Chain A
Amino acid sequence: MTGRARVFGGDVNTDYIITSRRKRESLDPQVLRRYLFEELDADFAASVEPGDLIVAGKNFGCGSAMEVAVTAVVGAGIPGVLAPSFSRTYYRNAVNNGLLPVVCDTSGIHEGDRLTVLRGEGLAVRNETTGETIAAAALPRIMWEIVAAGGLVPYFRRHGDFQV
């Protein structure tokens, strides 16, 4: 997965990703994507391109567990989020919707850097712009299988239950 870094700060809560107010009007990711991060950056939604990767500081997705904070991101064509830590509900919802959560040090990544997420033994992120490679935590098997399937929906359509 290769994409352009879209950088945010730390402690971005789910209401900053998509406000509860918008969610009351619609749950459709294609509608919600128009309001992505509107509280933090009013121009973000218009400038997002499919393949862009969100790069954030610690505790990404804190606050409410609302899943639209993930589906709105997926709806915008964003395949992954990089952060040194995630709120656990955001992490879970990301896995369950096929959005790859990458736990790594993001301090050296700048807006617009080209990033490639590599999967080998663990995970790693290569910053094509700076030439730097950043180690990332591996995903446990079942989580990887769910992400790779594209989320719990395709996973359940295939298996009907968890495969253990």
Chain B
Amino acid sequence: MAGKTISEKILSAKSGEDARAGDVVVCRVDCALATDGSAPMALDYFEAMGGQRVSDPRRIVFALDHYAPAPSRNTAQLHQRMREFAALHGVTLFEVGEGIGHQLIVESGRAIPGSLVLGADSHSVTYGALNAFATGIGSSDLAAIMIAGRIWLRVPESIKVTLTGRLPVGVYPKDVALALAGLLGADGATYQALEFAGPAVRDLDLEDRLVLANFAVEMGAKNAIFPADDRTYAYLDGRAAAPFAAVAPDAGAHYCREISLALDSLAPQVALPHQVDRVTGIANAAGTAVQMVYLGTCTGGRVRDFHQARDVLRAAGGIARGVQLVVTPASRTVLETLMRDGTLADFIAWGAVVGTPGCGSCCGTCGAIPGDGVNVISTANRNFKGRMGNGQAAIYLASPASCAAAAARGAIADPREVMP
């Protein structure tokens, strides 16, 4: 028999079967997340299914992140319902202001090598950075997991993505993610896993891997998965919620496709409105006026993202007139770090608006919403029409440094020109 990919190995272990790409298996779930975007429906399903109790509440996490703080009575009531359910069943609940659920799953050490961590939100793929099998599920799945602790999964084929070379100055993991989206297209990896490999993976910090894993769903991928190495262990040291063992692909594992990307040949990238895969070199969009810049989300709201943006703004001397810069840390821990190291003070002095840790403006459910005709450049992962709450705005996606360069110039610019 041929060897197995990382995804096949994890799903074999979790299902107790010899799981191969294409098989449908029923797996034990290690941890599952529901957000305020998906939990209310999951609770309806739970009741409709006849659920009485959560079979293992330690495996379930709720996060109040999409409506943080609640912008309306309705959403406040959703939060109330989640709080009451969590208290009754002993489920962990992350309160408003603690951050984006995905970031909290990672920070709290719940995503570990070899684990199966799911979330009722498409960006649950993020945890694959930690050598976990992680994917997004629906609210009905979440209800089934609360009742039975299990889920049906189709074992994905894997695309091997080999990364080589070093990132040039001014080019960041977000640029790699955008380049991959441009290369594969918005459905280029549908149902499939992206398994990252190659010498450049070693050079990527865990935060960098999170960006790449997070973006995999924009190519339709079921999951993204990185090997575990010293950087993984260093991140999990003192943090991992349980003991774990790294899962490596077998020699001779079967990949449905192999692609490679030379990082040293990349330039800063930008996704043009309104499709994630309308990706081009930033030079082709340079000069486009922007009125709003958003730094945040589960893609680009971590400490190093804000540091990269700060460095560019510092070199440029601040924000251009007429630009609204909105800063939303991915978690309270990120916010506190930025407070301690002075980054937040810099942003505030430049006139930035600071939002509550959480999803903020990302999906238009709370936070600052752009006006009609406004061009936004954002560190987020999606730029569909209406994504930020106004279908008359246009959203560009880029790295934190490129977003900062645009904030400094009032127009899209190559960060290498702003910060030589």
Contact between chains at B148 and A21 (CB < 8 Å): no
**Residue pair B137, A152 in contact (C-beta under 8 Å):** no
| The residue from B140, B186, B385 contacting A93, defined by CB atoms under 8 A apart | B140
Q: Which residues of A contact B389 (CB under 8 A)?
A: 21
Nearest-CB residue, chain B, relative to A163:
B26
Chain B residues with CB under 8 A of A164: 26
- Contact assessment for B74 and A65 in the assembled complex, using a CB-CB cutoff below 8 Å: no
* Any B CB within 8 A of the CB of A107: no
Identify B150's interface contact among A140, A157, A161, CB under 8 A. A161
| Known contacts A21-B389, A156-B147; A11/B140 CB under 8 A | no
Q: In whole Å, how far is B266's beta carbon from the nearest beta carbon of chain A?
A: 25
Residue A121 is within 8 A (CB to CB) of chain B in the complex = no
Instruction: Give chain B's interface secondary structure class.
Output: loop
Point out the residue from B44, B49, B136 that lies within 8 Å of A156, measured CB to CB: B49
Residues on B with beta carbons closer than 8 Å to the beta carbon of A62: 186-187, 220
Q: Max chain B CB contacts within 10 Å: which of A11, A153, A161?
A: A153
When distances are taken between beta carbons in the complex, the residues of chain B under 8 Å from A59 are 186-187, 190, 220
Smallest CB separation, B420 vs chain A (Å): 38
* Chain B binder among A46-54, A83-91, A110-118: A83-91
Q: Which residues of A contact B1 (CB under 8 A)?
A: none
Which residues of the partner chain A approach B74 to less than 8 Å between Cβ atoms? 24-25
Whether B363 and A20, one on each chain, are in contact in the complex, defined by CB atoms closer than 8 angstroms, is: yes
Given A15-B384, A59-B187, A162-B150, A21 and B364 contact (CB-CB distance below 8 Å): yes
Task: Judge whether A105 is part of the interface by a CB distance below 8 angstroms.
Answer: no
Task: Judge whether B154 is part of the interface by a CB distance below 8 angstroms.
Answer: yes
Assess whether B140 is in contact with A67, with CB atoms less than 8 Å apart. yes
Please determine whether B187 and A11 come into contact, CB atoms closer than 8 angstroms: yes
Contacts of B37 on A, CB cut-off 8 Å?
Answer: 66
Interface centre among A21, A88, A93 (most CB of B within 10 A): A88
| Cα of A135 to Cα of B137 in the assembled complex, Å | 28
> Are A153 and B140 interface neighbours, CB within 8 A?
yes
Number of interface residues of B (CB under 8 A): 49
Within 8 Å of chain A (Cβ to Cβ): is B244? no
B382 engages A140 (CB within 8 Å): no
Q: Is B384 a contact of A13 with CB atoms below 8 Å? A: yes
The answer, yes or no, to whether B379 is at the interface (CB within 8 Å) is no
The one of B26, B135, B136, B187 in contact with A85, judged by C-beta atoms closer than 8 angstroms, is B187
CA distance A39 to B386 in the complex (A): 10
* CB-based contact A97/B384 at 8 Å: no
Q: In the complex, are the beta carbons of B152 and A15 less than 8 A apart? A: no
Neighbour of A96 across the interface among B138, B186, B382, CB < 8 A? B138
B13 in the interface (beta carbon within 8 A): no
Q: Of residues 56 to 103 in B, which have CB atoms within 8 Å of A's CB atoms?
A: 67, 72, 74-75
Are A15's CB and B386's CB within 8 A?
yes
A14 to chain B, nearest CB (A): 9
When distances are taken between beta carbons in the complex, the residues of chain B under 8 Å from A88 are 135, 190-191, 220, 222
Task: Provide the bound-state CA to CA distance between A86 and B385, in Å.
Answer: 20
CB of B115 closer than 8 Å to a CB of A:
no
Asked whether A39 and B385 contact (CB < 8 A) given A67-B38, A96-B141, the answer is yes
Q: How far is the CA of A55 from the CA of B275 in the complex (A)?
A: 22
Chain A positions within 8 Å of B44 at CB level: 27
Q: With a CB–CB cut-off of 8 A, which chain A residues contact B50?
A: 156-157, 160
Interface members, chain B 1-49 (any A CB < 8 Å): 24, 26, 37-38, 40-41, 44-45, 48-49
Is A142 an interface position by the 8 A CB rule? yes
A and B contact pairs by CB, cutoff 8 A, 13 listed: A20-B365, A20-B386, A24-B72, A27-B40, A39-B385, A62-B187, A65-B136, A92-B141, A97-B140, A143-B152, A160-B147, A162-B148, A162-B152
> Which residues of chain A have a CB within 8 Å of any CB of chain B?
11, 13, 15, 19-21, 24-25, 27, 39, 58-59, 62-68, 70-71, 85-89, 92-93, 96-97, 140-143, 146, 151-153, 156-157, 160-162, 164
Q: Across chains A and B, which 5 residue pairs bring their CB atoms closest together, nearest first?
A: A59-B187, A156-B49, A93-B138, A96-B140, A65-B122
